[in-house]
A and B are shown apart, each in its own frame.
Chain A
């Protein structure tokens, strides 16, 4: 019998094009996703070398990062943003790449549209010039972020030079309590291992708690693998995956679908396969999580106090002091109850229909606090359409929230949606780095439920008190 393999090893083995002594493996890429920010210099490189995009049929582009979320009838006001979007149109036309521009009803955040349209499938290798590409790992694909040089490599050769990663099992067993979500699982994982804990690794999320999650919840978890330092994160496919993929626009249909499912069923990690690292978490012990500091590993349960730098030594102490200084927070007190100015529901982490439903369920029949500006930004035009069909837009608007067009928006504040210096924001996005949501802005990362509850209360809130 052959050696038991992990799902990552299986995907890897089936994509090695060539392996020369002393060189990394040449790995074939099944799907390349592109957006306006990390591709222009790669297209320039192709022009400079007289190269074509080798497989436009395996490449798809969208506009998300610098795309305004104001009405599509309005022009792009920022000259640099407008120039970048125009360049994307030009590049995709010249190289024959399908582009979902801001007027297209398939437009959206690159990691939302791939799964939504059935482009993302189990067993694939998927890359994008964006670190949150791990999102697609929810389908049992090996999906990771790359730099612009590598975007050029994939354009030109449909391959990447890669060294194998170390394997890291993150097993989550047990049942989540009410008010505790997939976002809280991943924030708890990162708080435990730290933001460099997964360096050189690919996470495989396993266990009964993961199995019971929907595809959208699994995407939230895989999405933030990079915040744990990992190259990628994935969940082996199962019936939940196959059900999600049935009848998606670009997914296989009919007999092809049945054949695909039979292939996908071979993917899960073999019994007896070993991992380099392992973390076990009991989901039933988790509470809603919120970050207090300036990296995603600085997270606490909502009932906990902000940690005291004095309880730490060396660089950890310095790191905490620096974070609390930037956030203007005091140690040894709860973060719960801290006043906020803004709530952002959106980003590739939490902008799918189930996220909007969850936030709307908390908001319904209530009002956003007069001290809070709440922005809801659907992950794609399709999510927006679905939300409108369900009347979620009305729930948000009647509560006093702003319901906008699709894009990355205030996750990275490139498109004009941003915090003012000093503002506090409860955000469903993935990064709380200094200035990430706008120069001088301060971010508390949390779930859509916690964000919605905080919008209503006007302070960092425990959603369980509103259930």
Chain B
């Protein structure tokens, strides 16, 4: 999934340590495709017992409509390895998540699905949290995030993942090109590891 630039509105869910069970509860994991996961996003935070939306949850507020950047608290995406989490976020319409840190597996999964995990310093984060609905500009090539005030911050990103996103290609294609190296490695290791068959 290609990602170059983004100019979009934010919505703020400020809690820290938002785990993947909140992002998409396990009962949505019985799917055998990637379809329909958007409706499970933050399901138990978004909806009441009777299925009506909770009016005070940030995503349900009218002004949050069309927001493509999620601002969330520290250590976003902790917990399970379910890639259903970034699938649910992207199907809902998010293109980027901004936090002060991300759990490792979630970060890796997001980068493989065109969802940009943007790490910012705590001062910038405070500013973003205090001002929901800001329009931010993201430029992946320079790895910069620009606020409406013109303040611009750079964010860390693995250069390889960055290039994959800019080119709109995926890792598997690159890996399949390494076939000769994999064959050579396998030949060297015959017998050193027990196989199952």
Contact = CB atoms under 8 A, between A and B. Distances in A.
Interface of A: 17-18, 22-24, 26, 28, 30, 37-38, 40-41, 44-45, 49, 51, 54, 56-60, 65-66, 78, 80-81, 83-84, 87, 98, 119, 121, 124, 129-131, 145-150, 152-153, 156-159, 161, 163, 195-196, 199-200, 226, 229, 231, 250-252, 295, 297, 315-316, 318-319, 322, 412-414, 421, 431, 433-436, 439
B44 A38 contact: no
Contacts of B105: 131, 145-147, 226, 231
A196 B25 contact: no
Nearest to A144: B105
Given A24-B160, A156-B176, A251 B26 contact: no
Contact of B113 (A28, A65, A149): A149
Nearest to B22: A434
A195 B185 CA distance: 37
Contact of A60 (B49, B179, B189, B196): B196
A261 B176 CA distance: 34
A156 B197 contact: no
B67 to A, nearest CB: 21
A196 B74 CA distance: 9
Interface residues of B, number: 57
A195 B78 contact: yes
Nearest to A157: B175
Contacts of B197: 56-57, 98
B33 interface: yes
B108 interface: yes
27 contacts: A24-B158, A26-B175, A37-B29, A41-B32, A49-B172, A57-B196, A83-B30, A124-B193, A148-B83, A149-B172, A153-B172, A156-B172, A157-B172, A157-B179, A161-B160, A163-B158, A195-B75, A252-B194, A297-B17, A315-B74, A318-B14, A319-B17, A412-B21, A412-B80, A413-B26, A431-B80, A433-B21
A370 B189 CA distance: 58
B175 A84 contact: no
A22 B160 contact: yes
A358 to B, nearest CB: 26
Contact of B29 (A57, A65, A161): A65
Nearest to B163: A22
A439 B46 CA distance: 13
